[in-house]
């Protein structure tokens, strides 16, 4: 029906079944048996390329997962769903497969009697916290920009997440279409993102503010913009997932349960450096101080001679550049570039900004780290596909009880 067609472009999550993702041509399959006897009801998880699926073996021990594209995937057999006293003997319960040109690959686990190699809870928690910080640092880059835009202009910019996607797609085009080397393409993508921010403020936001549009109106304009941008991205790259080179670097076992690739580590380092540079700018440079002044009290700042419009323009450039960088890192984290990758984390960015304090940059950083860790550690206790709910609940609770966030100032009544 038209309704379904209307929203058919949106992501659909797969569910439990013995075969999942039938709409995809490529697939991973397997057969779980113990000494010749098929085991049913065993849970298998497949993840990779920004895609996750879960499947349960049928009465013949068979399972099949369709995957959206060729490449590397992790297949995990959840040992808790094996009968008592049975475990994966060799290779570990998580193994890598590669879906090659043939489009089909199978993965079987070596199962026998034995003790499960369980990972201690502390190791798991530590690993989760580190993954959370990784995600949180990336989220912070996006959140800081959103918070500063809000602080200086009062606008809740729903199109901010599309600037995140913009960075990723721009780097994709530079690398794939223009065949630029990656060490040049990525910084250039960040610069282009900054330019896009300049263009948006010069061409859209400042004229609208001068026209006298209220904040609610501007917010809805940003919603329209986010809708249009999202579908322009889909127009350009279609509904599938693309990868940047190096996205599927192998994961290394570092310590405990922490498994990261060198790309993950580099991402964290880049995020950290970017945040530090930004912090220096905000605290020590004249424009940074002016930004904080305007966030605090715009009319007072203007009265003391600060060129508010110019500062706002610079804030937009920075916010867009940071968001673009966040997009590139998000492309490596997922991994994968998709038309709605920014939209996926829009609410998380808002959660981070609101938690930390709308209008403060350090609040956004703090909020993002907390949201990142919260999401990853909550996956230990609640089902994986509900892990964003934790962040959303935090968002609502914060707005109810402490709307100024952790670092924000309470607004005076009257």
Partner 1 sequence: MDWGFILSNTAAQLLSPATFAFALAAMGLALHFGFAGLLNFGVAGFMAIGAYGYAISMLTFGLAWWGGLLVGIIGAVLFAIVLGIPTLRLRGDYLAIVTIAAAEIVRLLFLTTAFTEVTGSADGLSGYHASFRESNPFAPGTYGFGPWQYNEIDLWVLTLGLAILIIATLFVWRIVKSPWGRVLKGIREDEDAVRALGKNVFAYKMQALIIGGVIAALGGFVYALPSAVSPGVYVTSLTFFVWTALLLGGAATVFGPILGAVIFWVLQAFLTNVLPELVKAGPLDFLTSQQSSTIRFILVGVGLMLIVIYRPQGIFGDKKELTFVK
Partner 2 sequence: MPNKSLDLHVGEAKPGCAKKDPIMIVDKLTKSFGGLKAVDVDHLEIPRNAITALIGPNGAGKTTLFNLLTGFDTGDTGTWLFNGKKLAGVPAFKVAQLGEVRTFQLTKALSLLTVLENMKLGAKNQKGEKLLPALLPAIWKSQEKQVEEKAIEILKKFKLYEKKDDFAASLSGGQRKLLEMARALMIDPTLVMLDEPMAGVNPALTESLLEHILNLKSSGMTVLFIEHDMHMVRHIADWVVVMAEGKVVAEGEAHSVMKDQAVIDAYLGSHQELDLGEVTGRVNK
Q: Residue 408 and residue 190: Cα distance in Å, rounded?
A: 29
Please tell me the distance from the alpha carbon of residue 198 to that of residue 312, in angstroms, as a whole number: 10
Give min distance, CB of 410 to partner 2, in A: 9
Task: Supply 333's token pair.
Answer: 């984290």
Query: Is 360:408 a contact under the CB 8 Å cutoff?
Result: yes
Q: Which two tokens stand for residue 64?
A: 């099949």
Least distance from C-beta 64 to partner 1, angstroms? 16
Q: Nearest-5° angle of CA 46, CA 50, CA 56?
A: 20
- Vertex 319 angle, CA 317 and 325, to 5°: 100
Q: Which of 3, 84, 303, 305 binds partner 1 (CB under 8 A)?
A: 3
276 binds, among partner 1, partner 2, none (CB under 5 to 8 A by kind): none
Residues 373-412 vs partner 2: string with x where CB under 8 A? ---------------------------------------x
Strand 94-99 and strand 71-77: the pairing is antiparallel
Considering beta carbons, is residue 173 or 208 the nearer one to partner 1? 208
Of the candidates 266, 399, 402, 406, which one interacts with partner 1 according to CB under 8 A? 399
For tokens 């993950």, the residue is: 264
Tell me the angle at which helices 262-284 and 308-333 cross, rounded to the nearest 10 degrees.
170
Q: Which of 79, 78, 81, 67 is nearest to 23 (CA)?
A: 67
- CA-based torsion, 240, 244, 245, 250: positive or negative: negative
| Smallest separation (angstroms) from partner 1 to the CB of 13 | 5
Distance CA 248, CA 163 (A): 24
Cβ at position 413, least distance to partner 2 in Å: 6
Kindly state the smallest distance separating residue 128's Cβ from partner 1, in Å: 19
Closer residue to partner 2 (CB): 3 or 401: 401
Of 7, 177, 381, 413, which one interacts with partner 2 (CB under 8 A)? Answer: 413
**Which of 230, 292, 334, 338 lies at the binding interface for partner 1 (CB under 8 A)?**
230
Residue 414 contacts which entry, partner 2, partner 1, none (Cβ below 5-8 A, type-dependent) = partner 2
Contact 148, 157 (CB under 8 A): no
Question: Of 169, 170, 200, whose CA–CA distance to 336 is shortest?
Answer: 169
Task: Looking at residues 339 to 378 of the shown chain, list those that interact with partner 1 (rule: CB under 8 A).
Answer: 343, 347, 350-351, 354
> Could you tell me how many residues of this chain bind partner 2 (CB under 8 A)?
3
380 counts as binding partner 1 under rule CB under 8 A: no
Residues that bind partner 2 (CB under 8 A): 412-414
Residues that bind partner 1 (CB under 8 A): 1-16, 54, 156, 208, 211, 213-217, 219-221, 223-232, 234-235, 238-239, 343, 347, 350-351, 354, 383, 385-386, 388-389, 392-393, 395-396, 399-400, 403
């Amino acid at each position: 029906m038209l309704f379904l067609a209307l929203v058919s472009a949106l992501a659909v999550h797969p569910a439990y079944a013995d075969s999942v993702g039938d709409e995809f041509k490529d697939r991973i399959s397997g057969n779980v048996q113990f000494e010749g006897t098929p085991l049913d009801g065993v849970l298998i998880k497949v993840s990779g390329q920004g895609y996750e699926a879960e499947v349960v073996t049928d009465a013949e021990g068979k399972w099949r997962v369709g995957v959206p594209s060729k490449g590397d995937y992790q297949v995990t057999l959840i040992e808790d769903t094996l009968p008592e006293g049975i475990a994966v003997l060799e290779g570990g319960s998580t193994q890598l497969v590669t879906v090659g040109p043939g489009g089909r690959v199978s993965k079987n686990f070596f199962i026998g009697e034995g003790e499960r190699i369980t990972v201690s809870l502390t190791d798991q928690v530590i690993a989760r916290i580190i993954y959370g910080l990784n995600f949180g640092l990336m989220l912070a880059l996006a959140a800081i920009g959103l918070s500063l835009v809000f602080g200086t202009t009062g606008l809740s910019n729903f199109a901010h997440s599309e600037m995140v996607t913009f960075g990723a797609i721009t780097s994709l085009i530079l690398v794939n279409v223009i065949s630029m080397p990656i060490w040049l393409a990525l910084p250039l993508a960040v610069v282009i993102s900054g330019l896009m921010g300049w263009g948006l403020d010069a061409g859209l936001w400042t004229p609208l503010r001068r026209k006298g549009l209220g904040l609610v109106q501007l917010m809805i304009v940003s919603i329209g913009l986010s809708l249009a941008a999202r579908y322009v991205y889909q127009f350009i790259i279609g509904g599938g997932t693309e990868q940047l080179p190096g996205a599927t670097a192998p994961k290394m076992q570092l310590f405990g349960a922490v498994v990261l690739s060198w790309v993950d580590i580099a991402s964290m380092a880049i995020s950290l450096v970017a945040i530090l540079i930004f912090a220096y700018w905000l605290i020590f440079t004249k424009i940074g101080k002016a930004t904080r002044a305007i966030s605090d009290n715009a009319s007072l700042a203007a009265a003391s001679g600060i060129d508010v419009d110019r500062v706002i323009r610079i804030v937009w450039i920075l916010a867009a550049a940071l968001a673009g960088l966040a997009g590139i890192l998000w492309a490596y984290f997922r991994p994968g570039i998709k038309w709605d990758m920014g939209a996926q984390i829009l609410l998380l960015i808002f959660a981070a900004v609101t938690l930390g304090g709308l209008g403060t940059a350090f609040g956004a950083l703090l909020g993002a780290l907390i949201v990142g860790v919260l999401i990853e550690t909550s996956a230990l206790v609640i089902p994986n596909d509900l892990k964003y709910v934790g962040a959303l609940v935090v968002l609502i609770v914060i707005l109810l009880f402490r709307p100024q966030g952790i670092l924000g100032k309470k607004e005076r009544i009257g």
